[in-house]
Amino acid sequence: MNFKKEYLDIARFAVERAKKAGAGGAAVSAEAYVNDTESIQVTVNARAVEQMSAVKEAGIGVRVLRDGKMAFGSTNDLSRDAVGGMVDGLVKKVVFHTADEFNIIPSKDDGALAADRLGYEDLGSYDPRVAEVPVQEKTQTALRMEAAGLGFSPKIAGSMMAVYQDGTSYVYLANSSGISGWFRQSGCGGGVEFTAAEGESRESGSFTKGVVKWADFDAEEVGRKAAENAVSMLGAKPIASAEMPMVVSPEIGTQIFSFIADMLSADSVQKGRSLFAEKVGTEVASKGFTLIDDGRLKGGMSTAPVDGEGVATQTTPLIVDGVLKTYLYDCYTARKGKAKSTGNHTRSGYGSAGGIGTTNLYLKPGDAAPEAIFAGIDRGFYLTVVLGLFAAIDAASGDFSIPSAGFMIEKGKKTNPVRGVTIGGNIFELLKAVDKVGNDLTWFQSLGSPTFSVSSVKIGGSGK
């Protein structure tokens, strides 16, 4: 994939067209976001290709602002006729929208960056190899990934899903404040789910991993870890309801933080949807808990020079030593909350007007080796699998009861696998109950967490 000047031109054309369409009435500001993507997905099953899908698509999303009213539209027809027609339509209908004094198309004063001719700064978030490697090699990679798991143990009965996927994306931005530029990102990775069987016991185990650079993707590791996860759960049984300490694996940690991040969005807070409202400067987690969103992390999966509305990205400590420092802002919420954008306007493609989202989000690692965390627990639960986490936590109250699986911890050691239990509690109480944070920061795509422990959770189970 390459830089295509015509896409920067069509973005600028859309902005100019909006200004022109509004001529004679109140001034129109506008922003255009063109996204050009390429992606390969290969699914394998039983050591053969099941499905190969190749995708190339480009489209444009346009925001127009007039009299404090904002409208958004998108299309994957990049002809001037189609884009011009869409923009004219947006300018016409925006008058019916609700005026909101905080609506904004960002300028330099709002933190927006204009790029030079070579585009925005390169932060190592792009590898040309991802698009260049021939599909045959990607197919072989998917097959090796599955084979590594199938060969891991005779107890592996088969794979349910083995997918290799990659994507390369070029973003072109232009707005009526004179901002324009482009940047690129890439990513590749895989996910596998295996079935393990022994006697009457059937268990599943999965693992996924995404990286920026082709050379960094270790397909065999993904296959082996998924298989190991499946085999280690064989013979899992429920335990009886009880309260006990819990150790959380990095993978589950990242899922929990992803949920918390939604509540740390300034939009949720300003609209009264978050229990973190009015908590800045107060203790919301235990002392050792530091949560950081870093849009400039070198080589991070979500690293970019600017966010979805052209504002420079930054490193944002959200919770430091248990104290809430800030929320995540885009330009709209920053204006409303008299704050500065943290560069967290996120778009999931040209078809999305965007909203607040995390970049690379992680829990800062502590000093404890994971073994030392286990060693301090006489009887506890090691959480490694959750089902339907987003459905199981009530975002409004923070209450959760999450169907889970994992292992018993007995006398400082991980022992028998456990399935068919729920862990219950409240997410805010859980954050305050974090007592040890490991030194093993592990990344899952753009979310990172070390192993950590919680002093006590309620476990609901049917076992004896």
Partner 1 sequence: MSKKKSMSRRSFIGKSAAGLSSVAFSSALMEMLLSSTGCKSGPGGASGVSDLILPEDVLAKAVSHLMAKGADFGDVYVERAAMDSVMSDDRKINTTTTIAKGVGLRAVKGGRTFYAYTGSFEPERVYETARYVADAAAAPASASAPSVITLSPLASGLSFPIKPMPSDLAVDQKIALFKTLSDRAWSADPRIVQAIQLLREIIRQVNIATSSGKIVKQTLGLTEFMAQTYVKGADGQLQAAMDQRGAYAGRDFFTGENAFEKVVDAAAAKAVKLLEAVDSPRGVFPVVLGPGMNGVLFHESCGHGMEGDLVFKGSNYKDQIGKQTAAKGVTLIDDGTIESYPGSYAFDDEATPSERTVLIEDGIQRNYLCDIIYGEKLKMKSTGNGRRQSFRYPPIPRMRNTFIEKGPIPAADIIAGTKRGIYVADVSGGGQVDVITGNFMMGVGEGYLIEKGKITKPIKGATISGMGIEAMKSIDLVGDDLKMFPSAGRCGKMQTAPVGFGMPTIRVRNILVGGKGEAWTDIEGGK
Tell me which residues in 415-454 interact with partner 1 (CB under 8 A): 419-426, 445-446
192, burial (CB in 10 Å: exposed 0-12, middle 13-18, buried 19+): buried
Residues contacting partner 1: total by CB under 8 A: 105
274, burial (CB in 10 Å: exposed 0-12, middle 13-18, buried 19+): buried
Instruction: Select from 1, 234, 389, 441 the one that contacts partner 1 (CB under 8 A).
Output: 389
Residue nearer to partner 1 on the CB measure, 50 or 221: 50
Over the window 128 to 147, marking each residue x when it contacts partner 1 by CB under 8 A and - when it does not, the resulting string is -------x------------
Could you say whether residue 378 binds partner 1 (CB under 8 A)? no
CA distance 166 to 40: 6
Could you say whether residue 208 binds partner 1 (CB under 8 A)? yes
Part of the chain binding partner 1 (CB under 8 A), chosen from 8-16, 142-150, 400-408, 431-439: 400-408
Instruction: Select from 55, 215, 372, 375 the one that contacts partner 1 (CB under 8 A).
Output: 55
Part of the chain binding partner 1 (CB under 8 A), chosen from 173-181, 266-274, 306-314, 359-367: 266-274
CA distance 86 to 63: 11
| Paired sense of beta strands 355-356 and 361-363, if any | unpaired
Q: Are 386 and 402 in contact (CB under 8 A)?
A: yes
Q: How far is the CB of 204 from partner 1 (least distance, A)?
A: 4
CA distance 48 to 139: 9
Tell me which residues in 270-309 interact with partner 1 (CB under 8 A): 270-273, 275, 301-302
Q: What would the two tokens of residue 374 be?
A: 């286990």
Residue nearer to partner 1 on the CB measure, 132 or 394: 394
Residue nearer to partner 1 on the CB measure, 11 or 368: 11
CA distance 135 to 52: 9
Part of the chain binding partner 1 (CB under 8 A), chosen from 3-11, 42-50, 112-120, 432-440: 42-50
CA distance 120 to 338: 27
Q: Are 235 and 367 in contact (CB under 8 A)?
A: no
Instruction: Select from 348, 367, 372, 379 the one that contacts partner 1 (CB under 8 A).
Output: 348
Residue nearer to partner 1 on the CB measure, 416 or 462: 462
Tell me which residues in 222-261 interact with partner 1 (CB under 8 A): 238, 241
Residue nearer to partner 1 on the CB measure, 173 or 368: 173
Instruction: Select from 216, 387, 413, 416 the one that contacts partner 1 (CB under 8 A).
Output: 387
Q: Are 341 and 106 in contact (CB under 8 A)?
A: yes
Q: How far is CA 217 from CA 140, 152, 209, 340, 420, in A?
A: 13, 19, 8, 37, 33
